[in-house]
């Protein structure tokens, strides 16, 4: 079962800006992680230091909700690709570098060691419902290295071997003879995206954030690599497809991935030395930098707390959803490690001492407590030899890293707490409530766990699922929270509730949940719902479309849901037999799901009602308590102590900003430019027909057909543009001429792998007009393409626009999600609003996904509630007419195996030929009011998100591919050091858009405002003075090429090719840019600096931050301050 967590995209790298960062999105196991998944808000209760960033592509999977921004991790009995929005759960992680990624996974069962290693052999063919997938997962296993049980290789003993027919790979479990470490070696010759990880069980004792801080700190230099941060050097110079570190509630994980074998070994070497021999345990300043320290720069200035994790967690604790989730965890697990915060509570983090820090590392970061993982086409023997070289100097020790079980309650409980809101917010409907259960005393048996996953999907997995739908239809709240089943840890939980309700409705929500569960326990589920669930889950299992996230890591996270608790690590990967058994039980009429509802939920006494109420005073109270604590500490210091702190503050900053020595830099392994292909990779594309053009991509997809239909939005009248996002959401959610949306959802689930509608708006080279499209994307097995085409036509042309109640629900959900995003993903807001100052595409993106859209949603709801529904309905119908017609349908994009494409093309033509004629009068004239300005958006938060931007083309810069190298290096060096390391922000980075010329700086969870803007303005001088040796320049180029040649799955390749076609970026142009990148010179940096000066001198500013910080900076920067929540009902213009 797969769980995924979507993390804020502030990355440690200059190139990552996450589109949906913040409110972590966890794709629930077999359930919520599917194309049809509804929006479920699960409070983020884990933290992260995103150490890595899987390179995210702009291409998502057809039918998915948010593949570009999420990743998937496979779990026991099912492997599903993540596609849910807005769910974060206790199983998720903290990551060293803030980027879109983080994983949680699911779970369990029996242990036991096979007596004989299983040689690679032929597997059965896969057969399931409407899906019959030809894939590597069911192909005959290729010849490869094999081991026998008991065989000794390079200091390891083979304990077990299994051929995993579901994924077409052979796995071996080894134990290290000298230390007792365990290693899973998954041999998969068909996958070049090689993956490695080492996982330590790290149960925290309290909320001082030790596991999280240590996860950050070990990557700050080591015995073999005596740099400040070799991690950053890897970011700059590696072809990695994933590079991160993650802190879970009970374990810490260090995963890497690369398609290049030499690069893969380099990554492993740096990570292994980092975890076992970190500089951090001998240098207290690493703890000070990454964790916390007192800071004071002048004698008369107040003390402050600084530290990357400290400020990261202040951002997390500013999110109301996170606050509610944390409260639920503490209430459900008062007696074990899950009741504390492994990420760290900002109130408790300053209690973390250096001795405690060192002792924690010595206790848990030992090979005897380590689990290693390899997957891919790299040589199997070399894996064992490589790891043994690091472990051979250790001896086995006993490590007590036991995860304690939470005793189950004898009676239900209720807890209440507050969360901070802005002073000018309306709090009459801001209460949150959830009903929460711990559903097991320990890991469930395989059948129970699998059945619970199916039950979760049936109840919560789609907008039509009965429990989810009952809560939405109640009208009491704006959005479902809780996320349903979470079985990623030792004990599974189930949580569900509503946010934005009246406080007096709290009992009604609990009553509704109980009533709905009782009805399901009494009556069961409709047969079509069960069929749709089975088809959807099996499709996702076979496809294992993990987007930009490496498949090997998805499998690794799955195994760890068992392995971490002493259970069988192979079991989560072998889902065929248990799925067949469950289906057989259902066919025989066994009330599997009804019995589980009764035993796990209705009759379960370990139940907690969690209520969170808004407080306008809490934010100020937290700030005042911190100030008082610091003042009390200062009173204990004499003048000499203060002088010492001032010196230490200055010394720490000096060390942080001092470059590493050339000798230290040379220790970091890297590729050579000669390892980089000179020719740009090409995606097979055949252009057929016209009006619409059909693009076909013959790629191996295991029998899946991915279809995208692109509709031009340039004909949409300006007054209708803000309605486009809600219109897009409505397409699958209102029902059609053939039935209500429940019926539609089930038919999609029974016949396809998912259908999704989304919009795109981008700049185009040499054109001031935006390129804007609405895509309907779907996927199915080749025999089901006719059903897929029929459903796409039904959705586009026969939507039931009379469903007022459902439109209101969708608008309320969108507004609630937007508000959460403004608080948790302020960097994304700043990025959007800065773009809106300079280009029509930027303006339009704000109308669709920025503060303008948030304001418009409030205005729209007011209009409907005020009796204006008929006018809204007519506008929605007008949108349908001007979007879905022959003139606007520009491209049909098909990706599949070669022998499926002709039939798929013919079938999709039946849809395009059925489109009505064009009724529009021509392209809409937007003419938005553009211009640079300084804006501050005040929200209830303890941190800031600081942005500044300008247009380099306006200053005379002519695009050259070297700008991509320069931007990446600037983010990974200067901004990393100034904004993150020295400034204490969780992330600092920059983005350059070659199509428009816009250059933007952004920070994430930043304790500063003015200092960060000053740092931005110092960037041109840094580039003017930069001197790079041949090695450093080559590393910068190689790192940039890693982004350019990002790993893509077949469906993503097809989608990417379509975007290039729409943007007129052909292979000739791409080769020109590639040549310029590879020929980058130091002089290019100096030239770029001159143009970048224009951003410092006349760039626009956008800050999303606290009231105190914004008001303090208002006059100096001439900022106009507004509260988006107070003005939500204002004009969207």
Four-residue CA torsion sign, 508, 511, 517, 522: negative
DSSP-derived 3-state class of residue 1044: helix
Separation of alpha carbons 242 and 372, rounded Å: 16
Query: What crossing angle do the helices spanning 230-237 and 1030-1044 adopt, rounded to 10°?
Result: 60
Q: Are 219 and 274 in contact (CB under 8 A)?
A: yes
Q: Are 393 and 363 in contact (CB under 8 A)?
A: no
List CB contacts of 1032: < 8 A, sequence separation 6 or more.
665
Separation of alpha carbons 212 and 810, rounded Å: 37
Phi and psi torsions of 112, nearest 5°: 125, 140
Separation of alpha carbons 324 and 611, rounded Å: 8
Distances (CA, A) of 12 to 321, 914, 1035: 24, 49, 17
Q: What angle do CA 779, 781, 784 make, to 5 degrees?
A: 90
Residue 390 corresponds to which tokens in the numbers above? 């690091």
Q: Are 464 and 37 in contact (CB under 8 A)?
A: no
Q: Which residues pair with 891 in a beta bridge?
A: 693, 710
List CB contacts of 237: < 8 A, sequence separation 6 or more.
668, 670, 671, 1034, 1035, 1036, 1038, 1039
SS3 content of the chain, % helix, strand, coil (to 5): 45, 20, 40
Residues acting as catalytic residues:
215, 290
Q: Are 157 and 174 in contact (CB under 8 A)?
A: yes
Separation of alpha carbons 1095 and 1105, rounded Å: 21
Number of H helices, E strands in the chain: 35, 32
Bridge-based pairing of strands 704-712 and 767-781 is antiparallel
Residue 475 corresponds to which tokens in the numbers above? 């009208």
Query: HEC string of 596-651?
Result: HHHHHHHCCCCEEEEEEEEECCHHHHHHHHHHHHHHHHHHCCCHHHHHHHHHHHHH
Locus of tokens 């339009």: 844
Q: Which residues pair with 305 in a beta bridge?
A: 294
Separation of alpha carbons 283 and 349, rounded Å: 18
Q: Are 754 and 35 in contact (CB under 8 A)?
A: yes
Separation of alpha carbons 756 and 66, rounded Å: 10
- Strand arrangement, sheet containing 998-1004: 987-992, 998-1004, 945-951, 1100-1105, 934-938, 1120-1122
């Amino acid at each position: 079962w797969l769980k995924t967590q979507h993390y804020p995209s502030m990355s440690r790298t200059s190139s990552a800006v996450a589109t949906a960062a913040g409110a972590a999105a966890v794709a629930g196991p077999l359930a919520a992680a599917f194309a049809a998944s509804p929006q479920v808000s699960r409070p983020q209760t884990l933290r992260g230091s995103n150490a890595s960033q899987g390179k995210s592509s702009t291409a998502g999977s057809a039918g998915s909700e948010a593949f570009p921004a999420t990743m998937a991790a496979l779990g026991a009995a099912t492997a599903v690709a993540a596609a849910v929005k807005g769910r974060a759960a206790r199983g998720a992680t903290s990551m060293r570098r803030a980027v879109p990624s983080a994983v949680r996974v699911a779970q369990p069962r029996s242990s036991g060691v096979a007596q004989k290693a299983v040689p690679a052999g032929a597997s059965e063919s896969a057969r399931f419902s409407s899906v019959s997938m030809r894939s590597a997962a069911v192909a005959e296993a290729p010849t490869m290295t094999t081991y026998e049980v008991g065989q000794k290789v390079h200091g390891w003993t083979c304990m077990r071997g299994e051929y995993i027919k579901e994924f077409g790979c052979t796995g071996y479990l080894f134990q290290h003879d000298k230390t007792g470490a365990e290693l899973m070696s998954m041999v998969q010759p068909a996958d070049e995206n090689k993956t490695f990880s080492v996982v330590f069980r790290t149960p925290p004792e309290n909320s001082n954030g030790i596991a999280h801080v240590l996860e950050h700190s070990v990557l700050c230099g080591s015995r073999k690599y005596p740099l400040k941060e070799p991690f950053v050097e890897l970011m700059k110079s590696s072809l990695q497809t994933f590079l991160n570190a993650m802190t879970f509630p009970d374990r810490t994980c260090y995963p890497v991935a690369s398609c290049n074998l030499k690069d893969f070994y380099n990554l492993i070497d740096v990570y292994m030395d980092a975890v076992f021999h970190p500089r951090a345990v001998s240098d207290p300043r690493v703890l000070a930098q990454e964790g916390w320290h007192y800071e004071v720069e002048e004698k008369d200035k107040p003390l402050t707390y600084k530290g990357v994790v400290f400020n990261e967690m202040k951002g997390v604790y500013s999110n109301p959803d996170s606050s509610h989730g944390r409260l639920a965890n503490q209430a459900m697990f008062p007696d074990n490690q899950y009741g504390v915060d492994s990420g760290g509570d900002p109130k408790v983090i300053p209690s973390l001492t250096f001795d405690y820090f060192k002792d924690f590392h010595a206790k848990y970061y030992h090979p005897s407590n380590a689990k290693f993982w390899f997957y891919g086409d790299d040589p199997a023997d070399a894996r064992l030899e490589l790891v043994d070289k690091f472990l051979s100097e250790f001896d086995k020790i006993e490590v007590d890293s036991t995860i304690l079980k939470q005793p189950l309650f004898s009676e239900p409980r209720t807890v209440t707490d507050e969360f901070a809101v802005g002073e000018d917010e309306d709090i009459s409907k801001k209460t949150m409530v959830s009903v929460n259960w711990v559903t097991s005393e320990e890991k469930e048996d395989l059948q129970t766990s699998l059945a619970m996953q199916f039950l979760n999907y049936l109840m919560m997995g789609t907008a039509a699922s009965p429990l989810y739908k009952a809560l939405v239809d109640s009208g009491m709240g704006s959005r479902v929270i809780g996320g349903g089943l979470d079985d990623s840890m030792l004990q599974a939980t189930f949580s569900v509730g509503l946010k934005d309700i009246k406080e007096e409705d709290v009992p009604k929500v609990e009553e509704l949940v109980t009533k709905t569960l009782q009805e399901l326990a009494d009556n069961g589920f409709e047969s079509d719902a069960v069929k749709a669930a089975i088809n959807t889950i099996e499709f996702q299992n076979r496809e294992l479309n993990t987007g930009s996230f490496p498949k090997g890591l998805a499998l690794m996270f799955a195994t760890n849901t068992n392995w971490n608790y002493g259970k069988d690590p192979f079991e989560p990967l072998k889902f065929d037999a248990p799925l067949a058994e469950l289906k057989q039980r259902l066919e025989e009429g066994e009330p599997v799901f009804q019995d589980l509802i009764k035993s796990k939920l209705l009759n379960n006494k370990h139940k907690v009602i969690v209520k969170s109420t808004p407080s306008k005073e809490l934010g100020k109270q937290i700030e005042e308590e911190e100030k008082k604590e610091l003042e009390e500490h200062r009173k204990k210091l004499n003048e000499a102590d203060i002088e010492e702190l001032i010196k230490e503050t200055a010394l720490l900053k000096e060390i942080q900003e001092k470059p590493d020595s050339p000798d230290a830099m040379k220790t970091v392994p890297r590729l050579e430019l000669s390892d980089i292909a000179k020719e740009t990779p090409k995606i097979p594309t055949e252009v057929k027909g016209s009006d619409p053009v059909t693009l076909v991509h013959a790629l191996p997809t295991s029998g899946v057909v991915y279809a995208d239909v692109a509709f031009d939005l340039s004909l949409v009248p300006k007054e209708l543009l803000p309605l486009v996002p809600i219109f897009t959401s409505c397409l699958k959610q209102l029902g059609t001429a053939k039935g209500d949306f429940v019926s539609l959802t089930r038919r999609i689930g029974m016949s396809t792998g998912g259908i999704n509608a989304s919009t795109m708006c981008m700049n185009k080279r040499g054109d001031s007009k935006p390129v804007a499209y609405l895509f309907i994307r779907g996927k199915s097995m080749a025999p089901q393409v006719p059903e897929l085409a029929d459903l796409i036509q039904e959705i586009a042309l026969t939507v039931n626009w009379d469903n007022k109640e459902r439109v209101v629900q969708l608008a309320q959900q969108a507004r609630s999600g937007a508000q959460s995003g403004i608080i948790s993903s302020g960097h994304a807001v700043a990025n959007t609003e800065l773009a809106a100052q300079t280009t029509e595409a930027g303006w339009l993106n704000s109308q669709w996904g920025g503060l303008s859209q948030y304001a418009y949603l409030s205005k729209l709801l007011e209009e409907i509630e005020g009796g204006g529904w008929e006018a809204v309905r007519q506008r929605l119908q007008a949108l349908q007419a001007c979007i879905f017609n022959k003139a606007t349908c520009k491209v049909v994009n098909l990706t599949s195996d070669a022998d499926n494409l002709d039939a798929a093309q013919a079938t999709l033509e039946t849809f395009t030929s059925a489109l009505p004629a064009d009724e529009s009068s021509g392209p809409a004239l937007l003419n938005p009011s553009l211009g640079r300005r300084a804006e501050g958006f005040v929200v209830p938060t303890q941190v800031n998100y600081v942005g500044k931007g300008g247009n380099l083309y306006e200053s005379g810069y002519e695009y050259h591919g070297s700008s991509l190298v320069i931007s990446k290096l600037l983010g990974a060096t200067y901004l990393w050091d100034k904004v993150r390391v020295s400034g204490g922000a969780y992330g600092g980075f920059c983005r350059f858009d070659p199509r428009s010329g816009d250059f933007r700086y952004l920070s994430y969870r930043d304790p500063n405002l003015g200092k960060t803007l000053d740092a931005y303005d110092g960037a041109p001088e840094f580039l003017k003075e930069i001197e790079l040796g041949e090695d450093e320049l080559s590393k910068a180029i190689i790192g940039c090429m890693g982004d350019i040649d990002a790993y893509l799955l077949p469906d993503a390749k097809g989608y990417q090719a379509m975007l290039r076609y729409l943007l007129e970026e052909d292979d000739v142009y791409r080769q020109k840019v590639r040549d310029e990148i590879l020929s980058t010179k130091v002089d290019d940096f100096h030239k770029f600096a001159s143009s970048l000066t224009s951003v410092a001198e006349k760039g626009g500013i956008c800050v999303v931050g606290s009231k105190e910080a914004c008001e303090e900076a208002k006059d100096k920067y001439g900022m106009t301050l507004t509260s988006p929540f107070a003005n939500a009902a204002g004009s969207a213009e």
